Homo-oligomer: A and B are copies of this chain.
Amino acid sequence: MSYPRVALLGLGLIASSMFWAMKRAGMDSHVTGYARSQATRDTARRLGLCHEVCDSVAEAVRDADLVVLAVPVGAMGELAEAMAPHLKPGCTVTDVGSVKQAVIDAVRPHLPEGVEFVPAHPMAGTEHSGPDAGFASLYDNRWCLIVPEGASEQATARLEAYWQALGANTERMEVEHHDLVCAVVSHIPHLIAYTMVGVADDLRRVSDQEVIKFSAAGFRDFTRIAASDPTMWRDVFLTNKPATLEILGRFTEELFALQRAIRTGDGQLLFDYFTRTREIRRGILQAGQDTDAPDFGRAAVRK
């Protein structure tokens, strides 16, 4: 169910992890890779990432049965335009963007007749980025959302089987719902984490050194996701505007309700609210989506 020839366009955390996961799965695909920056291509060659690292998009996608757009969402349109004339008829194009409506709008107009486009979103990542950040197990037990949006059943099922071979679970989702769910579970949490870290950094009366020293009291959980790739996240917020603004509105509404409870001394409201949120944590542990080791198991960190 794999593809004889796969082209990875963009060689960051996501694409490099895909390559190592393909190797681990024993796929016999021939994998070409392309990155815009010479430095990234050099690193990829040094790491043995892809069977062939190409200096042009045209070269990388020629004869490919699957082309993976693995660049920030804001760069997808330009990349699609550059590759389109060189695609093999009947090939499948997919992407790994965190936003789907904007990617579809940017990519589809460029694709020639007879090319299948199956948007996808592997919901996995770490706070590290770049070609040397990838590892084979990144997708294990993680979800890859597939947004068929008019692609054939055959092309969709084939891409699902491919992602499952990389270790992921797959689920099909409608495009608008995808963008809303991701705003909730990913985009707004990232925005809030960035904001909290920014506030701490910006305060005059508390030094950065104090923030860093005493971060174990809760703050440091936010800093992991606030260290994620700035370009990727800028593009997410610029391109998933309606859903992020909607969830942000809900968030500030709730936050104001809690702020009011603090100001008026409404302990019962606070207690009830804090009790309810424990259930969600339990659900995540039961679903195998996080470790139940206290403190993420990191109690043993040493200087």
Contacts of A195-224 to chain B: CB distance below 8 A? 195-203, 205-206, 208-224
| Closest Cβ–Cβ distance, residue A46 to chain B (whole Å) | 20
CB of A1 closer than 8 Å to a CB of B: no
| Closest Cβ–Cβ distance, residue A140 to chain B (whole Å) | 7
| Closest Cβ–Cβ distance, residue A208 to chain B (whole Å) | 7
CB of A115 closer than 8 Å to a CB of B: no
Interface residues on A, range: 35 or more
Contacts of A114-170 to chain B: CB distance below 8 A? 123-128, 133, 135, 137-138, 140-143, 145
Q: Which residues of B contact A295 (CB under 8 A)?
A: 126-127, 224
Contacts of A225-273 to chain B: CB distance below 8 A? 225-228, 230-231, 233-235, 237-238, 241, 244-245, 247-248, 250-252, 254-255, 258-259, 261-263, 265, 267, 270-271, 273
Query: Can you identify 14 A-B contacts, CB atoms within 8 angstroms?
Result: A143-B213, A143-B214, A192-B192, A193-B218, A194-B258, A196-B251, A198-B254, A201-B277, A215-B284, A224-B281, A224-B296, A241-B262, A248-B255, A288-B302
- Interface residues in chain A, defined as those with a beta carbon under 8 Å from any beta carbon in chain B: 74, 98, 123-128, 133, 135, 137-138, 140-143, 145, 171, 177, 180-182, 184-203, 205-206, 208-228, 230-231, 233-235, 237-238, 241, 244-245, 247-248, 250-252, 254-255, 258-259, 261-263, 265, 267, 270-271, 273-284, 287-291, 294-303
